[in-house]
Amino acid sequence: MAPFLEAVVVRKNDEIAPDISCVLLEAPRVAQCLEPGQFVHLLLPTFDAHILRRPFSVFATDAAGGLIEIVYQRLGEGTRFLAELQRGASLDLIGPLGQGWRAGANTRNALLVAGGIGIAPLNMLAAQLLTSARVCLITGAQSAERIVSLRLPSSVASATTKTGESRLTVITTTDDGSTGIKGLVTDVTGELLAQQDFDYLATCGPEPMQRIVAAHALAAGVTCEVSLERRMACGIGACLSCAVLTRDGTRRACVDGPVFNAEEVLW
Ligand SMILES: Cc1cc2nc3c(=O)[nH]c(=O)nc-3n(C[C@H](O)[C@H](O)[C@H](O)COP(=O)(O)OP(=O)(O)OC[C@H]3O[C@@H](n4cnc5c(N)ncnc54)[C@H](O)[C@@H]3O)c2cc1C
Ligand code: FES
């Protein structure tokens, strides 16, 4: 669907971990048409009237309720402004933007790898895949308090295989070992790919992490998609600030991505 402008209203905006918040927006039109992995561009006015829009993945949607949820990390002026917005504040949004995950209906056993806030575009994908496939999520952060959990509709969260096992497995890593495995998501990915027969891998997080995860997937012969969170200005393909070098030449993360087949990307 072609992107459009929508005036949206903050329903809730809460800190869920240190420097990480979740904003629930009343966005009745865009909530109907977002695909997993697509993003929206929010205008976050500050004292500088010329501030650019900021891109955010959509963590979850409630089409019936006309709501979308964004999980964001406070980094600079724009996200600090966003964190201060109270219930009832209005903003404008452009969406749906970009190309999301292309995981096919044939996927049977998917591995999702999230580094930190990279969980954001993977939540909707996990919900979609769990309707018919097994999903293993490796999610990592610096410490236990910074792990953002999946938020799935109850019907898919409790989905089981024919033998009654849960379709969802979650493996957590932390840099400090305060929960899960002490180490990085990349430490676990290669081992898991060697042990299990995955047919699809999706990853998001810091680019060096995604590059390592993609290399593991390619070595194991598993189709891998990466979501590249490049700095963006226009968000609609006009400025090339989000250029990604690929085997097919320069592509734009905002319109050709942010999701790319890992084999195409020249890291
Ligand atoms: C397609 C896409 C989806 C995204 N989804 C999410 C999301 O769901 N949740 C979330 O928290 N963030 C997401 N981001 C990143 C988010 O857009 C930036 O964190 C935000 O624009 C920072 O704005 P700011 O004004 O607070 O920071 P700025 O003042 O613009 O920058 C502060 C610091 O953050 C760094 N930074 C800014 N933008 C990015 C970026 N795109 N990638 C890496 N570093 C950056 C800057 O280099 C600088 O060091 C996404 C980015 C893209 C391109
Ligand atoms: S942000 Fe302008 S071309 Fe992608």
Q: Is the pLDDT of residue 106 over 80?
A: yes
**What is the Å distance from ligand 2's center to 120 Cα?**
21
**109-264 adopts what CATH topology?**
Rossmann fold (3.40.50)
Tens digit of each residue's pLDDT (9 = 90 or more) over 30-83: 999 999 999 999 998 766 655 789 999 999 999 999 999 999 999 998 999 999
**What is the Å distance from ligand 1's center to 74 Cα?**
9
Closest C-alpha to 232, from 207, 257, 208, 212: 257
d(CA 57, CA 131): 21
**C-alpha distances in Å from residue 52, one per residue of 130, 170, 181, 188:** 36, 36, 39, 37
Looking at the chain, which residues constitute the CATH 2.40.30.10 domain(s)?
4-97
Which ligand does the CA of 238 lie closest to?
2
Averaged confidence pLDDT in the chain: 94
Tens digit of each residue's pLDDT (9 = 90 or more) over 140-186: 999 999 999 999 988 888 888 888 888 999 999 999 999 999 999 99
Residues near 197 by Cβ (< 8 Å), separated by ≥ 6? 109
User: What is the predicted pLDDT for the residue at 50?
Assistant: 59
**What is the Å distance from ligand 1's center to 132 Cα?**
32
Q: 83 in helix, strand or coil?
A: helix
Closest C-alpha to 117, from 83, 80, 71: 71
**What is the Å distance from ligand 2's center to 267 Cα?**
19
* Sign (positive or negative) of CA dihedral 39, 104, 124, 33: positive
Which ligand does the CA of 226 lie closest to?
1
Tens digit of each residue's pLDDT (9 = 90 or more) over 235-256: 999 999 999 999 999 999 999 9
Tens digit of each residue's pLDDT (9 = 90 or more) over 7-32: 999 999 999 999 999 999 999 999 99
pLDDT band for 96, please (50, 70, 90 cuts). very high
Which ligand does the CA of 121 lie closest to?
1
User: What is the predicted pLDDT for the residue at 43?
Assistant: 93
- Number of neighbouring beta carbons within 10 Å of residue 36: 23
**Paired strand residues for 43:** 92
Distance of alpha carbon 33 from its chain centroid, rounded? 16
**What is the Å distance from ligand 2's center to 82 Cα?**
22
Ligand 2 site, CB within 6 A: 232-235, 237-242, 252, 254
Query: What's the rounded mean pLDDT across residues 99-116?
Result: 94
- Tokens 């865009």 sit on residue: 30
**C-alpha distances in Å from residue 107, one per residue of 19, 126, 138, 256:** 35, 12, 18, 22
Query: What's the rounded mean pLDDT across residues 216-234?
Result: 96
The domain over range 4-97 is classified in CATH as 3.50.50.60: no
Out of 231, 241, 245, 256, give the residue to mutate to test ligand 2, the one with the largest number of ligand atoms within 8 Å of its CB. 241
- Number of neighbouring beta carbons within 10 Å of residue 257: 26
User: What is the predicted pLDDT for the residue at 44?
Assistant: 86
Looking at the chain, which residues constitute the CATH 3.40.50.80 domain(s)?
109-264
Nearest atom in ligand 1 to 82's CA: 26
Lowest model confidence (mean pLDDT) among 95-99, 124-128, 197-201, 229-233: 229-233
